[in-house]
A and B are shown apart, each in its own frame.
Chain A
Amino acid sequence: MIKHFFTSMYRNIERDKMFTFINLTNLTIGFTTFILLGMVVSYEFNYDKSNKNFDRIYRVQTKQEDSYPTNYCTFSPAAIRYHLMADVPEVEKALIMREISAGQGSGQFFTLPSGAQLFEKYGYFTENAIFDIFTINIKEGNTTNALVEPSTIALSETLQQKLFPEGGAVGKQVVIGKRYPLTVTAVYADFPINSTMRPTYLVSISTYETLAERKGFRDDWTSIDNDNYVLLKKGTDPRLVDSKIKDAFKNVKNFEKSTPYLYPLSKHHLSPNGQSDTLVGLGILSLAGFLVLILSCVNFVNLSLANSTRRASEIGIKKVVGFPKKAIAAQFLTETVVVTIIAMIIGLFAAQAASPLMAQILEKNIEYRVFENGQLLLIVLFTGLLAGLLSGLYPAIVLSSYNPVKVLKGKLFVGTGKSLNLKKVLTATQFSISLFMLIVSFILYNHVNFILNKDLGFDNKNIIYSEVKVQDSIDFETIRQKLLQHPEIVDASFSSTIPFQGNIGGYVTWEGAAQDQREMISRNYVNYDFIPTYNLKMMAGRNFSKDYPSDNKSCIINETALKVFGWTDPIGKTITLFGTPYPVIGVVKDFHPYSVHNPIPSYVMFLGKEELTGSKLLTVRFTPGNEQKAQELVTRELEAFVPNDPFEFKDFKVIFYLDSAISFWQSLKRLFFMFSVVTLVVSSIGLFGLILFTTKRRTKEIGVRKVLGSSVFSIYRQLSYEVFAMLGGAILVACPAAILIYKTMPGAYKEPLSSLVFLVGIALIAIIAQMTISYHVIKIAVSNPVKALRYE
């Protein structure tokens, strides 16, 4: 019997190759899309899972309720590690990590064997417990005391290959920052790509304590700048630990409203810092994947029903000779499931083949491996079976319950308006899904354009910057004058942070504030030239000026701060930071100091000393088109001043485009655009197939009409009328759904929805529908009516 099923299926496939081709293409596209997206989503959801202790690793973060909006800081003070966590019995191991930086950003310079400087990001000061908490594969050396002694370093394999190409790194010395020699104690395998944290080198925390001369480091409660991790004992409820540590800051002055809390490793990648972008993005993507699959299943159902007239006599005969209804249903179901599974298998290979493209779109250096992802394969198999069953079920039930008398008389669809109505509903579903995908991709497109072109409040073009860490002290004006001698250089300034790079917080009170009112502000120590270099616009008052010696005791605030402080006449009013009052001399118009994704914070600029010392960010504005030249000039001039301190100038555009919000939404836009094209293709296939079969069924009718002299136009009108009625229904479903997506999109700044987005989407679908109808009608119009009548 099974053999009979398969013979019957095989013959049917063989007989109508066009139908099979359309069906299989349609399903394969659906599955490929679904698997590709599944691959991406599964990859993102499996971040950090290579850690054996995945479920038990938490980062201790700090919630700052006296900031508006409440700030969830991923860092916590060192004392948390050395005091608080040592006293909680549920904590098995505690670990401090502190990103190594040459300036405000992360990273350090290594001296290569050739003598050249190599800038490596993602180094951490940390301790031996890292080997116990995280799963790290040691290649060389040992872990028992690799990071105990001062001046010890463990290298990742990649870095080891750069520094010691000949191998045997353990015991040798590396020099960082041109001046600190460290002894290599271990070499570890690179962290997997899907790890939130991928240290390229680890330096013992004792190195930091001695080099930075931070004796009281372990008792510091106020510098919230360390990554503290804990490994909880098995079976511990993190909420229990949360409740035990929540009062830790109670007795720390100015930190009374801060609370430490545990943040599980499972959330570090998907919602870092409680930001939901990635989750929402992945949600939208998963939705898209399912929609495309549903779309192709709907197509499948539609086509199967449309084509069922052809199978009518088979069904009728089988019923008449005593095949039970169940057996006929089972046969159709088997057929659907088999076709679906075939499409699924092709889809798996197609997805694997298309995965490099995917990685490119996402700008991720990832090798997706579909066949090694058991979880994904299982989900795909399950979805495949489900999709096969669901899309086979309805046709199977409908076909198997045909009355054989009617079927055998060829009266299959006469008088049974029901199945036709369902077909209309299905087609409307198709329209809805395509329209929805189209509108959402337009919305994303607009959103990305919006954040890319949003007025940042400063001029981000023609700027290069570098982090410099100067040991001595150099008069900045001398450097600046030297640079300005070149006509290519427009201006130069330094500051402790620059937009999109670095952030220093602090609490201030202000004139007119209530008794216990405080505000978390972003502060920046700038020089006289910062505001002109970035072309910030003054709203009131003036910039810092050498004509006013008292300016080093005053400050400039931004528009948001002005609103928060509630002043009408800000000039001369004072704010108080760490007990020192600073009068306001100017207000700058709001600009984006961080990602355009976040709201603009209250921002206060103070005047720094006019000398380059310690860690500073240097910004140079050049004349348009001279980027390369400016970079060379500045590097050469600065090298003369700081021969012993490594630095590297970068184009400002780089940090702007690397801004996670921008790159994330851009990837999402590209992905979604690709998939809305896929959706359009799939629904065109569906529409094409459907109209093909409808007109096939009507060939005779149309032939008769033509003989009777009826115009092709009336046929066209009728078909169009049907299709556009369905499109109307689709609009009612798709538009509100797209609006919902727009509303759930995170981000402080969104472009208001434009009706154009909807109109263009609808127009596009309408055009495709029109084209399909026209194609068929033209085909009929030019055909010979006699031929049509001879049909059967």
Chain B
Amino acid sequence: MIHLTNIDKYYDSKFQRTFVLKAVNLEVKEGEFLSIMRPSGSGKSTLLNIIGLLDEPSTGEYSLYDKSVLNLKEKAKVDYHRNFMGFIFQAYHLIEEMTVYENIETPLIYKGVKSHDRKAMVADLLDRFNMVAKKDLFPTQLSGGQQQLVGIARAIIGKPKLLLADEPTGNLQSVQGEMIMETLQELNKEGMTIIQVTHNEKFAEYGKRIIRLEDGIIRKDLINQIAHVPMIN
């Protein structure tokens, strides 16, 4: 599904070129749950942004379903964002002036989904995440975990094929983090391709495959052989 070939991302300052990503080659198949690991500043987010078409690589090739998606026009990008991928963020980035319901509904508005259908779709998700009672609350009235659930609901309401999560648990306590990870895992089981960026070993292991990124270079790429067993220790 995703093909990254020799991706470089660098910034030129006066005397030197700083690489954020260097010669990244990555293939992600449909239905994968990929965790990108390692400390902040190693270019994980940049990689995710490039995959999410929010940023462009300096050099290299990127194709989705064998179609190059570099130098896309604004309109085409918007189309991918609308119909193909969803995003989750560390800081949730819910719109504070809007209720839970309205936040989840937002992506549908520009997809041209009718108001009546929107209601049904949002209601379904609220039900699934056990948040029906909270639908008229504002984000600030929710706990971090709940906010991130809303974030996930918003990301998946458009039924994207690819879900990109940038440190989805970074601001959460571990119990809430686990809840979020389990939700993601479940979505993956239903067939959604997920790429997450994390610096948390434990949460990285929810992924079926883990990549370690160091100084912009993929150091390790391992497939989880064992199905994940929640650790209780």
Q: Which residues of A contact B (CB under 8 A)?
A: 1, 4, 7-8, 11-12, 14-15, 313-314, 316-325, 327, 403-405, 408
Cross-interface CB contact of B54 among A4, A14, A318, A404, cutoff 8 Å: A404
Q: How distant is A406 from chain B, measured CB to nearest CB, in Å?
A: 10
Interface residues of B in 47-63 (CB under 8 A from A): 49, 52, 54-55
Give the complex CA separation of A316 and B166 in angstroms: 14
Give the complex CA separation of A297 and B203 in angstroms: 51
B110 close to A324 (CB less than 8 A): yes
Give the complex CA separation of A314 and B96 in angstroms: 8
Closest CB pairs A-B (n = 7): A322-B82, A11-B97, A322-B81, A321-B107, A314-B95, A313-B93, A405-B54
B97 close to A327 (CB less than 8 A): no
B97 close to A15 (CB less than 8 A): yes
Q: Which residues of B contact A (CB under 8 A)?
A: 49, 52, 54-55, 74-75, 78-83, 86-87, 89, 91, 93-98, 102, 105-107, 109-111, 154-155, 158
Q: Closest residue to A7 on the B side, CB-wise?
A: B102
Residues in B neighbouring A314, C-beta threshold 8 A:
95-97
B81 close to A7 (CB less than 8 A): no
- In the complex, which of the residues B49, B79, B102, B110 has the most CB atoms of chain A within 10 Å of its own CB atom? B110
B78 close to A324 (CB less than 8 A): yes
B87 close to A322 (CB less than 8 A): no
Give the complex CA separation of A327 and B91 in angstroms: 24
Residues in A neighbouring B107, C-beta threshold 8 A:
321-322
Residues in B neighbouring A313, C-beta threshold 8 A:
91, 93-96
Given A15-B96, A314-B97, A322 and B75 contact (CB-CB distance below 8 Å): no
Give the complex CA separation of A404 and B82 in angstroms: 15
Residues in A neighbouring B78, C-beta threshold 8 A:
322-325
Residues in A neighbouring B83, C-beta threshold 8 A:
322
Give the complex CA separation of A91 and B229 in angstroms: 106
Given A12-B97, A408-B91, A321 and B54 contact (CB-CB distance below 8 Å): no
Residues in A neighbouring B81, C-beta threshold 8 A:
319-322
Given A320-B81, A320-B87, A324-B74, A408 and B109 contact (CB-CB distance below 8 Å): no
Residues in A neighbouring B93, C-beta threshold 8 A:
313, 316-317, 408
Q: Closest residue to B102 on the A side, CB-wise?
A: A7
- Known contacts A8-B98, A314-B96; 12 additional CB pairs below 8 A are A1-B110, A4-B109, A316-B93, A317-B95, A320-B87, A321-B82, A321-B107, A322-B82, A322-B107, A325-B74, A404-B54, A405-B54
Residues in A neighbouring B109, C-beta threshold 8 A:
1, 4, 323
A405 close to B87 (CB less than 8 A): no
Give the complex CA separation of A45 and B189 in angstroms: 76
A-B contact pairs, 29 of them (CB 8 A): A1-B110, A4-B106, A7-B102, A8-B95, A8-B97, A8-B98, A11-B97, A11-B98, A313-B95, A313-B96, A314-B97, A317-B94, A319-B81, A320-B54, A321-B81, A321-B155, A322-B78, A322-B81, A322-B82, A322-B110, A323-B109, A323-B110, A324-B75, A325-B78, A327-B110, A404-B54, A405-B49, A405-B54, A408-B91
Q: Closest residue to A322 on the B side, CB-wise?
A: B82
Given A321-B82, A321-B107, A405 and B74 contact (CB-CB distance below 8 Å): no
Give the complex CA separation of A15 and B98 in angstroms: 11
Q: How distant is B171 from chain A, measured CB to nearest CB, in Å?
A: 12
Residues in A neighbouring B74, C-beta threshold 8 A:
324-325
Q: Closest residue to A310 on the B side, CB-wise?
A: B96
Give the complex CA separation of A317 and B75 in angstroms: 17
